[in-house]
Amino acid sequence: MTDKEISGVIAVYKPAGWTSFDVVAKLRGILHTRRIGHGGTLDPMAEGVLPVFVGKATKACDILPDVKKGYHAGFRLGITTDTQDITGTVLKEDGMAVTAEEFKTAAEKFIGKIMQVPPMYSAVKVDGKKLYELAREGKVIEREAREITVLSLVTDDYDEVTREGHMTVLCEKGTYIRTLINDIGDMLGCGGAMTSLVRTYSAGLALEDCLTIEDIQQRVDENGAESVLTRLDKCFEVYPEVRLGARITALYKNGVKLRADQVDAHEGTVYRVYGADGGFIGLGRMADGGFRSVKNFFV
């Protein structure tokens, strides 16, 4: 099997304990292709939606338009760790009582555009080195706060005795949920750590779209690689579509800038472009009175 034979997206349910790279490495073996990338790292303790791009679809990894990510997270108050989750070393504990209403009130203050300092155990680079590499060397350095966006945060449940609960978060990329929980705990004055994390949405894909590694292996064995692929254009459904006629499709694929009378498109808008056969070609934009490619995936 070669890269040219398969191309598309796989919505993988990443299991807890695996790194995102572990998933990619496993799929390279199952699909017998090396041209695979993923759309957003998940921590090893986390599970859930991991968009994986295969073949020519890997061109999409860096231009995904849907920056929203959904999470269902468990937390425990009264504990602070070096990793901001329960896998880390406990730095301090606090037995102060926190009511459900107090937690809910504090958490809701983190909705909207807020500043967040990335954790030391993260892939953020400082002076060319990843923070988690420095953290493993026992180093803690100053990090600049970055603006992030929390679109919604709902407290699903909270036990005032154990001070444990769960929350559902919809945010934009770049948000660290364990840092969010840590910061809520700091605001309350007792600390907090993440106990579990499931990503429920990413790059236009949801849990119901996902296949486990075992599912993927079985389907490929029985029906071939194509049976596990999702259409790449599903990741770009936030854009309107434009469909080209046969002659115009040929011109477009050859890189010709189309005139305004050849395509039904508005100035400045990005479109999903489909050829005469209904196949997804890529993204295009009308600019300065002409329509041309932004990114072609299957040409």
The domain that contains 226 carries what CATH number?
Answer: 3.30.2350.10
| Residues 95, 38 share a domain | no
211 and 186 inside one domain? no
Q: Are 235 and 7 in contact (CB under 8 A)?
A: no
Domain range for residue 17?
Answer: 3-65+204-235
Q: Is 43 known to be catalytic?
A: yes
pLDDT of residue 200: 98
User: Do residues 155 and 107 lie in contact, with contact meaning Cβ atoms separated by under 8 Å?
Assistant: yes
Q: Are residues 21 and 138 in the same domain?
A: no
Whether 178 and 287 share a structural domain:
no
Q: Give yes or no for a contact between 225 and 31, defined as CB atoms under 8 angstroms apart.
A: yes
Same structural domain, 42 and 158: no
Q: Write down the pLDDT at residue 142.
A: 78
Closest CA to 155 of 211, 92, 98: 98
pLDDT for the residue numbered 5: 64
CATH number at residue 255: 2.30.130.10
263 and 183, same structural domain? no
Say if residue 170 is in the same domain as residue 210.
no
Do 183 and 135 lie in a common domain? yes
Q: Do 192 and 212 have their domain in common? A: no
* 149 and 267 inside one domain: no
* Phi, psi of 82, rounded to the nearest 5 degrees: -70, -20
State how many domains the chain has. Answer: 3
Blockwise average pLDDT, block size 10, the chain, 299 residues: 69 95 96 91 93 93 89 98 94 96 98 92 75 75 90 98 98 95 98 98 94 97 94 92 94 91 92 95 92 87
121 lies in the same domain as 187: yes
CA distance 7 to 55: 4
From the candidates 3, 43, 159, 288, which is the catalytic residue? 43
**Phi, psi for residue 85 in degrees, rounded to 5:** -140, 175
Token digits of residue 19: 């790194």
Same domain, 189 and 89: yes
